[in-house]
Structure 1
Amino acid sequence: MNIPNILTAIRFVFIPFFGYYLYNERYTVAVILFLLAGVTDVLDGIIARKFNMVTSFGKLADPLADKLMQLTALTILTIQDIIPLPVLIIVVAKESFMIIGSILIYKKVNFVVQADWYGKFATVVFFLAIVLTILVRSGLFANPYSDIIVNIAVIIAVGSTLFAFFMYTIEFGRLTMKSK
């Protein structure tokens, strides 16, 4: 197991701890764990590409760790009535379709779908929206406009997620047409 894969594995370890602290409204610890997970995500990508350590495990596990962390945050924030349920439903539906589509593409044309710029952008935007939401909830960035700012950030995150889904759908269509 190389360094990028170890960093990805560390993110998987962070998920239950992050979830525990977020659920128990220990927002400062939760946001620190979330930020550390984000740093390991950036580092594993940089190291993997710079030192040619890209692996099949990394291609699959890296985005899975990101999505599990994101879904953990969204699920708990939805349970706490901080994020509206439709946001969680949209993200879960998009990720479910992505997983199913990736499996079908792999079976059909033996191609491992990787994150493109729009998927990475959507992940970063959602990452920032979640951090902002947690920080506002913790009281660190509370001001009269906090709720409006969080709502705008979440709307932009959902929009970027839907855009990424649309772009991946086009890519999946192209890949399946090539195989015919």
Structure 2
Amino acid sequence: MKMNVANQLTILRILMIPFFIFFLLTGQSILALIFFATASFTDFLDGYLARKYHLVTNFGKFMDPLADKLLVTSALIGFVELGELKAWVVIIILSREFIVSIFRAIAAADGIVIAASWWGKAKTISQMIMIIVLLMGNYPFSLLNFPMDQILIYLATVLTVISGYDYIVKNKQVLKE
């Protein structure tokens, strides 16, 4: 099966995760930041290319959100390991991801592919920005004694809950079968 460039970028994002985690957990935050930021950029780029050049596929609709989940949850678990993030935040985020994944699996069994919503995209973007700020050690905000990392943690958590609620409400017919 020949993959289009958008789907290749999604696969590349998945392949970058072990390198990101290795650098994160070995204290090489600059390299971890480079890998995470690059992987995050591929998320934007693959979506842009898929829409612009009509490369949207069922594979992409399924794998793109999965790649995002793998990248973000890997980072969050790594931050808990390093003591940079509270476990309750990760539990909320992971719970939402499991619920949405179960919904997607049930829908897929019925031949339905559910694409990401605006709230889901906002959630992913907020989580990725939060992770980048955490990787930077809250710099340059720390120079101003401003807790941007904490603000972003709460924002990402709230958007995660809202997007999960929105997803369930919009797709509740999946459970009626």
TM-score (norm 1): 0.91
Query: What is the aligned partner in structure 2 of residue 135 from structure 1?
Result: 136
Contiguous gaps of at least 5 residues in structure 1: none
Amino acid at match of 1:42: F
User: CA offset at residue 144 of structure 1?
Assistant: 5.9
Measured in 2, the distance between the counterparts of 1:75 and 1:63 equals 18
Aligned residues: 175
Per the alignment, do residues 103 and 68 of structure 1 end up closer, same or farther by CA in structure 2, a change over 3 Å counting? same
Measured in 1, the distance between the counterparts of 2:34 and 2:44 equals 15
Amino acid at match of 2:134: T
Amino acid at match of 1:67: K
User: CA offset at residue 106 of structure 1?
Assistant: 2.4
Amino acid at match of 1:143: L
Q: Is contact 2:103-2:174 (8 Å) kept?
A: no
Contiguous gaps of at least 5 residues in structure 2: none
Query: What is the aligned partner in structure 2 of residue 113 from structure 1?
Result: 114
Query: What is the aligned partner in structure 1 of residue 149 from structure 2?
Result: 150
Q: Is contact 1:105-1:112 (8 Å) kept?
A: yes
Kindly indicate whether residue 105 of structure 2 is the aligned counterpart of residue 103 of structure 1: yes
**How big is each residue's C-alpha offset from its partner over 1:38-60, in whole Å with a ceiling of 9 and x where there is no partner?**
11111111111111111111111
Q: 1:24 aligns with which of 23, 26, 30?
A: 26
Q: Is contact 1:135-1:141 (8 Å) kept?
A: no
Amino acid at match of 1:27: S
Measured in 1, the distance between the counterparts of 2:75 and 2:173 equals 33
Measured in 1, the distance between the counterparts of 2:172 and 2:63 equals 24
Measured in 2, the distance between the counterparts of 1:102 and 1:124 equals 20
TM-score (norm 2): 0.92
User: CA offset at residue 107 of structure 1?
Assistant: 2.3
